[in-house]
Amino acid sequence: MITQLNNILYFLIPIIMLLSIYFYTTHQTLKKVKNDQLQLLYSEIKSEKHNKLQLNNVQKEVEEFQKKTQTKIKTIKINILNISFTLDEIFS
């Protein structure tokens, strides 16, 4: 009976040790891979935030340009009306 237990223990202990080593190494490699993926995601998020800031700045510049353009167009319309009125006064 004791010899059978010893035989079983001699068989089980190396298997348990091998499984422990296998699971430990698998865990370490998986941990490294997941850490790399996390770093990649972090850098993508950082890049997207930077792009968002740039696009916000571009949007503001476009709005300012539109305002300036509208102002210039209004000025041109007023000048055209003034010229038209002046010509009407001269020729009438």
pLDDT at position 87 over 90 = no
Rounded distance, CA 13 to CA 23, Å? 15
pLDDT digits (tens, 9 = 90+) for 18-52: 999 999 999 999 999 999 999 999 999 999 999 99
pTM of the model: 0.55
Q: Nearest 5°: phi and psi at 56?
A: -65, -40
pLDDT band at 85 (very low <50, low <70, confident <90, very high): confident
Round the average pLDDT of the chain to a whole number and report it. Answer: 92
pLDDT of residue 4 exceeding 90, the answer is no
DSSP per-residue codes, 21-32: HHHHHHHHHHHH
Element (H, E) at 12: helix 2-91
Give the type of residue at 66.
Q
